[in-house]
Amino acid sequence: MIYQIDVQITAPVHDTEVTDRVADAISNLFPEAEIESNPGELLATSHSMDHFSERLHEQAILDTARGAFFSGQDGNTFGFDIKKQAAFHGVVNFAVGGESELGDLHVRVRVNDPDVESFIDHIAPPTEDGKPIK
């Protein structure tokens, strides 16, 4: 199955931060993203979440990811936030509650084909006893 998606990642860049390090945080989880710098913010776009999905599997956080994705679902889109510092180290750590001091990576995914639920099942499949159900 080929999924048609548009991923948009935004990240605040504070005066105390090095822009390249924030860009690295994005690239570590979304290596295929094209990043552009705007005053005080980075904006990245991608059409793949394959590497991100691999990280979810490696970290064994599929259930957590599914919860974050479905709670952020709105029509054919879903959104979630990731802690910037963890992303810099290539780790997915979903931000819950208030935003961290330096801000988080804000990810918005629009699924054009086939549908949001199928795509979420693809990148973070349901599990049983912590193992993906085939």
Give 103-122 pLDDT, tens digit per residue.
Answer: 899 999 999 988 999 999 99
> Is 131 inside a domain boundary?
no
Give 69-113 pLDDT, tens digit per residue.
Answer: 999 999 999 999 999 999 999 999 999 877 777 789 999 999 998
CATH number at residue 86: 3.30.1440.10
Residue 89: is it exposed, middle or buried by C-beta count within 10 angstroms (0-12/13-18/19+)? exposed
Helix (H, G, I), strand (E, B) or coil at 83: strand
- Tokens 């084909």 -> residue: 113
> Which pLDDT score is estimated for 71?
96
> Which pLDDT score is estimated for 133?
85
- On whether the pTM is more than 0.85, the answer is yes
Question: Could you list the residue range(s) of the whole structural domain that residue 116 is in?
Answer: 4-125
> Is 77 inside a domain boundary?
yes
The total number of structural domains that make up the chain: 1
Pairing of strands 127-128, 131-132: antiparallel
